[in-house]
C-alpha cells in the first residue's frame, strides 16, 4: 500500500482545486514562510479524521475553509481527498484503490466518504487503524512537535509508542470493550431493578393465582358432585313418577267402574214406579258430597303448592342468612358512608383552626375511633334487606295457607255433615223392604267405595304436587349449575355411579355439601380468575425473560472482562517486545547522530502521591509513626516510558541536561527508530530538520534515505540537503490574492536548485 495523491479544494489558503501526486519514495514540499506549505500537513490530519482544530491552527470548522482574498470570494466548504493504492489490501476493503474524503461546511457539519460513499468517522478510524494510520501520531510530525515525545510524561510517551507500534487497535478494542462492559453493567443494574420492582406484584399475583387454582379445584369437585347429584336425582324423580303413575292407575280404573255401577243403580231407582223421598234424598246427598269433595280436592292441591313454595322460601332464607354471616359479603350503604365523611370533614375543619398539638391529637383519635366504630358496627350487623323481602313473602304464604286451612276445615265439616246424613239415609234404606232396596243398597256400597278411592287419590295428588315441586327445584338447580360451572356440570347422563338408587337422606346430604362448596366459591371471589391468571402468566414470563436476559448479561460481562484481560496481556507483551526492538534501532540512530553515546527506552511505573484516610492514620500513629510521616504515601501508578540518554565525551545523562539542538537530534533519532521498527505506509515531516546544522543535515538526509526503503516520505522543508534527497519537489507560492498555488519540479531541476 502507498499514498498516490492528495487533493485539496477550499481548504485554508488552497481556494482552488490543487492536487499533489506522490509517485516517488521521497516527495518534498518547499516554499517561503507564509506560503501555506504547512497547510498540506494539516490537510492530511484533516482528511484522516483529526477532531482537534487546535492541532490544525483553528478554533472551529469554519476556520479551515478559505475565507476569501483580494479578488476571490470565500468558499462555502472545504474538502480534502487522499488516494491510496490498496492492491495488497492493507486496508480491509475489496478495492485496489481507496479514496478517503472529508468535507466541512460553514455550519460546522462534517461529511466523510470512502470511495464516494458517505460513512461515519468511526468507519474511517477503524479502516485506518488496521494500517497503523491515524489523524495524528508518529507518522505526521509538524514543525515544533519533533521533541513532543521528549516533553511528554511517562504515560503520554507510552501512548505515543503504542500508537507507533500499531497497538492502537488493541487500545481501541479494549476501550470499546470497556464501554460495552460499562453499558452491560448498567443493563445488569437496570434488569435487576426491574426484577425487584415486579417481585412484590408477582408475589401478590401468585397468591391470587393460588386462590384461583383452589377455586378451580373446588369447581372441578363441584362438577363431579353435581353430576352425581343430578344423576341420582334424575333416577329418583323418574322412579317417583313411575310409582305415582302405577299407584294412581288402579284406583282411577276402579273409580270409573264404580261410576258405571252407580249410574246403573240410579237408573233402576229412577225407573221404580214408587219413588220415595229416600232415594231422591240419597241422590241429592251424593250430588252435594261430590261437589264438596271436588272443592276439597282443589283446596288440597292449592295447599300442597303453597307448602312447596313455603319450603323453598325457608331454604332460600336459610341460605341468605348463611351468606350474609360472612364478613366479605357485608353491605355498607352509601348514606352511611356519606354520614361518616361529613363527620370526619367536621373534625378535620376543626383541626385546621387549632395550633395546640394535644387538641389536634385528640381530634385525630376521634377520627380513628369513628373509623373503628363504623367498621365494627358493619362487621356485626345483619344485612336484612334481601332477607326481609323473602320473610315478608313467606309470611304472606303462611297467611294464605292459614286461610286455605280454614276453608278446608269448613269443607271437612260440611263433608262430615253430608256423610252423617248419608249414613242415616243408608240405615233407613236397609230397613226398607221395597223393591228398590237392593238398588239402593248397591248404590250406597258403590258410593262408600268411591269415597275410599277418592281419599286415596287425594293423598296421591298431594304427593304428586310435592313431586312437581321437586322436579321444578331439580330444573332450577340444573340452570344454576350451568351458569356457575358451564354446560359440562349439567351433562350427567353418562356419569357412572355405584348403584341406581340411594337413600334419600344421602341425596339430601349431597345437596347440603354442594351448597357449602358454592358458598366457599362465592367467598373466594373467582369472577376475575382468567384475568388474574393471564396477568400472572405475563408477569411470570416477563420475570423469566428478565432472568434469562440477566444471565446472558452476566455471561457477556464475564466474556468482556476476559477479553479486556486478554487484550491487556497482549498489549503488554507486544508493547514490551516493541520497546525492545525500538531500543535496538534507537541506540544505532543515536550513535549515528552524536558519533557515539547510548540511548534507550525504559518501561517503569510512575510514582503517585496519595493521602491516607483518617482511619489509616490512626492505625499508623498507634504503631509509633508520627502523623506527619504518615499523612502522605507513595504508590505505584500506571506503566510508562522513560528515556535514558548518555552523550559521548560528556557527563550528561538524562533529558533535562540536553541543549536545544541535542534534544532535536535525540527526538529525530527516536522517531526514526520507532518508524524503523513498525514502518507506517507514509510519514509526513514538517520542517523537523529546521534546527540542524550542515553536518547533522547530511546525517538526517542519510537516515531519510534509509527510512524511505520502509515508508513513503513527504518532507516539508527549507533544508537544501533534505531537498536533494527528494524524487519530486512541490513548490508552494502565494501571490497578492492570498491563494496558495503549487509548482512541481522534476528531480534533475531539484538537484540544480539544491546546489
- Per-residue pLDDT tens over the stretch 475-493: 888 888 888 888 888 888 8
pLDDT at residue 634, as a whole number: 47
> How large is the average pLDDT for residues 288-301?
81
Q: What confidence tens digit (pLDDT) does each residue in 82-138 have?
A: 999 999 988 989 999 999 999 999 988 999 999 999 999 988 988 887 777 765 556
Q: Characterise 595 by phi-psi region: left (phi > 0), alpha (psi -120 to 50), beta (else).
A: left
In whole numbers, what is the pLDDT of the chain averaged over residues?
82
pLDDT at residue 712, as a whole number: 92
Q: Characterise 39 by phi-psi region: left (phi > 0), alpha (psi -120 to 50), beta (else).
A: alpha
pLDDT at residue 235, as a whole number: 87
Q: What confidence tens digit (pLDDT) does each residue in 151-177 have?
A: 888 888 888 888 778 787 788 888 889
| Three-state SS at 598 | strand
pLDDT at residue 119, as a whole number: 94
Residue 524 pLDDT > 80: no
Q: What confidence tens digit (pLDDT) does each residue in 51-64 have?
A: 888 888 888 889 89
Length of the chain: 755
Residue 28 pLDDT > 90: yes
- Cα dihedral value 189, 195, 200, 206, nearest 10: -170
What's the grid cell of residue 264? Answer: 246403573
Q: What confidence tens digit (pLDDT) does each residue in 372-401 have?
A: 788 877 765 655 666 777 778 888 888 888
Range from 249-253, 470-474, 624-628, 639-643 carrying the lowest mean pLDDT: 624-628
Q: Which long-range contacts (CB under 8 A, 24 or more apart) does 336-342 make?
A: 336/374, 336/378, 340/370, 340/371, 340/374
pLDDT at residue 467, as a whole number: 85
Q: Give the residue from 348, 392, 388 showing the smallest Cα distance to 367.
A: 348
The rounded distance, in Å, linking the Cα atoms of 665 and 671 is: 10
Cα diameter, the chain = 188
pLDDT at residue 449, as a whole number: 86
Beta bridge partners, 550, equal none
Q: Give the residue from 748, 718, 736, 731 showing the smallest Cα distance to 18.
A: 731
Q: What confidence tens digit (pLDDT) does each residue in 277-288 have?
A: 666 777 788 788
pLDDT at residue 223, as a whole number: 86
Label residue 435 exposed, middle or buried (CB < 10 Å: 0-12, 13-18, 19+): exposed
pLDDT at residue 614, as a whole number: 67
pLDDT at residue 11, as a whole number: 94
pTM: 0.51
Q: What share of the chain is helix, strand, coil (3-state, %, to 5)?
A: 65, 15, 20
Listed in sequence order, the residues at least 6 apart from 369 whose beta carbon sits closer than 8 Å to its beta carbon are none
What's the grid cell of residue 496? Answer: 357412572
The rounded distance, in Å, linking the Cα atoms of 15 and 737 is: 10
Place 429 in a pLDDT band, splitting at 50, 70 and 90. Answer: low
The gap from C-alpha 632 to its chain's centroid, in whole angstroms, comes to: 50
What is each CA distance from 380 to 56, 318, 320, 321, in whole angstroms? 89, 18, 16, 13
Q: What is the percent of the chain with per-residue pLDDT over 90, rounded to a whole number?
A: 16
- The angle at the Cα of 697, spanning 586 to 722, to the nearest 5 degrees, equals 105
Write out the CATH class of domain 1-139+680-755: alpha beta
What is each CA distance from 555 to 189, 544, 549, 551, in whole angstroms? 14, 16, 10, 6
Listed in sequence order, the residues at least 6 apart from 600 whose beta carbon sits closer than 8 Å to its beta carbon are 583, 586, 587, 643, 644
Place 273 in a pLDDT band, splitting at 50, 70 and 90. Answer: very low
pLDDT at residue 83, as a whole number: 96
The rounded distance, in Å, linking the Cα atoms of 416 and 421 is: 9
Q: Give the residue from 74, 133, 72, 123 showing the smallest Cα distance to 102.
A: 123
Higher local confidence (pLDDT), 691 or 323: 691
φ and ψ at residue 746, rounded to 5 degrees: -70, 165
What is each CA distance from 98 to 44, 127, 130, 313, in whole angstroms? 15, 11, 14, 98
Residue 258 pLDDT > 50: yes
Q: What is the percent of the chain with per-residue pLDDT over 70, rounded to a whole number?
A: 86
**Domain residue ranges of the chain, discontinuous segments joined by +:** 1-139+680-755
Q: What confidence tens digit (pLDDT) does each residue in 338-355 have?
A: 888 888 888 788 777 777
Crossing angle of the two packed helices 694-707 and 529-594, in degrees rounded to 10: 130
Range from 109-123, 370-384, 534-548, 715-729 carrying the lowest mean pLDDT: 370-384
φ and ψ at residue 550, rounded to 5 degrees: -65, -40
| Three-state SS at 578 | helix
What's the grid cell of residue 81? Answer: 481527498
Place 561 in a pLDDT band, splitting at 50, 70 and 90. Answer: very high
| Span between the terminal Cα atoms of the chain, in Å | 33
Place 330 in a pLDDT band, splitting at 50, 70 and 90. Answer: low
Residue 78 pLDDT > 90: yes
Q: Give the residue from 261, 91, 213, 157 showing the smallest Cα distance to 602.
A: 157
Q: Give the residue from 634, 637, 636, 618 showing the smallest Cα distance to 626.
A: 618
Place 323 in a pLDDT band, splitting at 50, 70 and 90. Answer: low
Q: What confidence tens digit (pLDDT) does each residue in 578-636 have?
A: 899 999 988 988 888 888 888 999 888 876 555 556 666 666 666 555 555 555 444 55
The gap from C-alpha 641 to its chain's centroid, in whole angstroms, comes to: 50
Residue 432 pLDDT > 60: no
Q: Characterise 328 by phi-psi region: left (phi > 0), alpha (psi -120 to 50), beta (else).
A: alpha
Amino acid at each position: 500500500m502507498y499514498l498516490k495523491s492528495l487533493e485539496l479544494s477550499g481548504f485554508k489558503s488552497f481556494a482552488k482545486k490543487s492536487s499533489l501526486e506522490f509517485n516517488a519514495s521521497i516527495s518534498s514540499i518547499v516554499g517561503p514562510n507564509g506560503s501555506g506549505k504547512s497547510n498540506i500537513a494539516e490537510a492530511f490530519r484533516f482528511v484522516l479524521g483529526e477532531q482537534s482544530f487546535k492541532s490544525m491552527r483553528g478554533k472551529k470548522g469554519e476556520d479551515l475553509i478559505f475565507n476569501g482574498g483580494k479578488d476571490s470570494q470565500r468558499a462555502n466548504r472545504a474538502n480534502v481527498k487522499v488516494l491510496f493504492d490498496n492492491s495488497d489490501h492493507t486496508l480491509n476493503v475489496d478495492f485496489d484503490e481507496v479514496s478517503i474524503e472529508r468535507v466541512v461546511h460553514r455550519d460546522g457539519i462534517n461529511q466523510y466518504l470512502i470511495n464516494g460513499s458517505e460513512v461515519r468517522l468511526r468507519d474511517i478510524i477503524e479502516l485506518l487503524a488496521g494500517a497503523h494510520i491515524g489523524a495524528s501520531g508518529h507518522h505526521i510530525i509538524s514543525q515544533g512537535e519533533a521533541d513532543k515525545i521528549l516533553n511528554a510524561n511517562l504515560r503520554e510517551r507510552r501512548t505515543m509508542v503504542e500508537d507507533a507500534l500499531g497497538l492502537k487497535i488493541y487500545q481501541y478494542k479494549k476501550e470499546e470493550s470497556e464501554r460495552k462492559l460499562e453499558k452491560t453493567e448498567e443493563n445488569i443494574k437496570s434488569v435487576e431493578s426491574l426484577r425487584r420492582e415486579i417481585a412484590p406484584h408477582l408475589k401478590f399475583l401468585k397468591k391470587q393465582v393460588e386462590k384461583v387454582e383452589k377455586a378451580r379445584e373446588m369447581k372441578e369437585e363441584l362438577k363431579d358432585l353435581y353430576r352425581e347429584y343430578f344423576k341420582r336425582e334424575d333416577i329418583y324423580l323418574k322412579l317417583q313418577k313411575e310409582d305415582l303413575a302405577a299407584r294412581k292407575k288402579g284406583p282411577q280404573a276402579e273409580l270409573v267402574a264404580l261410576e258405571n255401577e252407580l249410574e246403573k243403580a240410579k237408573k233402576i231407582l229412577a225407573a221404580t214406579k214408587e219413588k220415595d223421598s229416600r232415594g231422591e234424598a240419597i241422590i241429592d246427598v251424593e250430588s252435594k258430597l261430590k261437589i264438596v269433595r271436588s272443592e276439597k280436592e282443589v283446596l288440597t292441591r292449592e295447599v300442597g303448592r303453597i307448602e312447596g313454595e313455603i319450603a323453598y322460601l325457608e331454604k332460600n332464607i336459610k341460605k341468605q342468612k348463611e351468606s350474609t354471616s360472612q364478613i366479605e359479603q357485608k353491605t355498607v350503604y352509601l348514606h352511611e358512608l356519606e354520614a361518616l365523611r361529613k363527620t370526619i370533614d367536621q373534625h378535620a375543619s376543626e383541626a385546621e383552626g387549632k395550633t395546640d398539638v394535644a387538641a389536634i391529637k385528640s381530634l385525630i383519635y376521634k377520627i380513628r375511633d369513628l373509623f373503628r366504630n363504623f367498621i365494627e358496627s358493619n362487621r356485626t350487623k345483619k344485612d336484612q334487606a334481601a332477607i326481609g323481602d323473602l320473610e315478608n313473602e313467606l309470611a304472606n304464604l303462611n297467611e294464605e295457607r292459614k286461610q286455605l286451612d280454614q276453608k278446608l276445615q269448613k269443607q271437612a265439616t260440611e263433608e262430615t255433615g253430608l256423610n252423617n246424613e248419608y249414613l242415616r239415609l243408608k240405615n233407613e234404606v236397609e230397613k226398607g223392604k221395597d223393591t228398590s232396596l237392593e238398588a239402593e243398597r248397591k248404590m250406597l256400597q258403590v258410593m262408600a267405595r268411591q269415597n275410599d278411592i277418592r281419599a286415596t287419590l287425594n293423598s296421591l295428588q298431594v304427593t304428586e304436587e310435592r313431586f312437581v315441586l321437586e322436579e321444578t327445584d331439580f330444573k332450577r338447580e340444573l340452570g344454576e349449575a350451568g351458569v356457575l360451572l358451564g354446560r359440562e356440570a349439567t351433562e350427567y347422563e353418562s356419569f357412572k355411579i355405584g348403584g341406581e338408587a340411594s337413600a334419600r337422606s344421602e341425596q339430601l346430604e349431597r345437596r347440603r355439601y354442594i351448597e357449602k362448596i358454592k358458598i366457599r366459591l362465592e367467598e373466594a371471589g373467582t369472577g376475575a380468575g382468567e384475568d388474574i391468571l393471564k396477568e400472572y402468566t405475563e408477569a411470570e414470563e416477563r420475570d423469566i425473560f428478565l432472568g434469562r436476559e440477566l444471565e446472558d448479561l452476566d455471561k457477556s460481562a464475564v466474556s468482556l472482562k476476559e477479553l479486556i484481560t486478554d487484550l491487556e496481556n497482549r498489549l503488554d507483551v507486544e508493547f514490551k517486545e516493541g520497546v525492545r526492538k525500538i531500543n535496538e534501532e534507537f541506540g544505532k540512530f543515536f550513535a549515528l547522530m552524536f558519533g557515539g553515546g547510548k540511548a534507550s527506552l525504559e518501561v517503569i511505573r510512575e510514582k503517585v502521591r496519595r493521602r491516607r484516610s483518617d482511619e489509616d492514620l490512626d492505625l499508623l500513629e498507634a504503631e509509633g509513626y508520627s502523623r506527619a510521616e504518615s499523612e502522605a504515601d507513595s504508590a505505584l501508578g500506571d506503566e510508562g516510558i522513560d528515556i535514558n540518554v548518555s552523550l559521548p565525551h560528556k557527563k550528561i545523562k538524562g533529558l533535562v541536561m540536553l541543549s536545544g539542538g541535542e534534544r532535536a537530534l535525540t527526538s529525530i533519532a527516536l522517531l526514526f527508530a520507532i518508524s524503523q521498527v513498525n514502518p507506517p505506509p507514509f510519514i509526513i515531516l514538517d520542517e523537523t530538520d529546521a534546527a540542524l546544522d550542515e553536518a547533522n543535515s547530511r546525517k538526517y538526509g542519510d537516515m531519510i534515505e534509509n527510512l524511505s526503503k520502509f515508508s513513503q516520505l513527504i518532507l516539508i522543508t527549507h533544508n537544501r540537503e533534505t531537498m536533494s534527497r527528494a524524487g519530486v519537489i512541490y513548490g508552494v507560492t502565494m501571490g497578492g490574492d492570498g491563494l496558495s498555488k503549487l509548482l512541481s519540479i522534476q528531480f534533475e531541476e531539484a538537484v540544480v536548485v539544491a546546489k
